[in-house]
Amino acid sequence: SNGQPVGAVPPEAPRARRRRRLTPLIEAWALPLLTVAVAAFFSLWPKTSDVFLTSANLNVLLGTQAVIAVVALGALVPLIAGQWDLSVGASAGLVAVVCAQFLSHSGNVLLAVIIGLLVGCLVGAVNALITTRAYVNAVITTLGMSTIIAGVVNQRTHGLAFFTSIPASITAFGTGTWL
């Protein structure tokens, strides 16, 4: 009826093609552009312009995001595989507790880091085995693992922050200024 053979796919409208090309671009750049817009706003807003772009504020902003960035990188691996890992935050907490307790007893930084990596790898391996060999959904597996880890951390720390007997050089490194 429109001059095309039966079963032929009509050509895409130019507007739809343009939208299809722009969508991935917008998705890729939305967060960085929003971050720049927020930074520009607080840099120019009279109530915050005097303190926002100071080295002390940038130190706090960057220093508090370092751990989150490392944990986000850990969460990226299962996301690339199309799975969700809800135990990443709890795993990071467990590794921090194990490292802090080991450091307080031995003071050996290298060994504490190795033990921390092994604990994190063990949690990941158990999650992977349950998901791939027992065929339990990754969300269920990692949610359960997160609950178990929270219990282990609570049992190890009794709900209190653990920082006594850690060598001063380590706490100075973690709280030092870089900018």
- Which of 120, 157, 124, 159 has the alpha carbon at shortest distance from 142? 124
Confidence of residue 133 (pLDDT cuts 50, 70, 90): very high
Q: How many helices (H) and strands (E) does the chain have?
A: 6, 0
Top-confidence residue, 26 or 130: 130
Output the CA–CA distances (angstroms, integers) from residue 12 to 17, 26, 34, 159, 177, in the order listed.
7, 21, 31, 60, 56
Top-confidence residue, 15 or 68: 68
Confidence of residue 4 (pLDDT cuts 50, 70, 90): low
- The yes-or-no verdict on residue 160 having pLDDT over 60 is yes
DSSP letter at 11 equals P
> Is the entire prediction scored with pTM above 0.75?
no
Average pLDDT over residues 113-137: 96
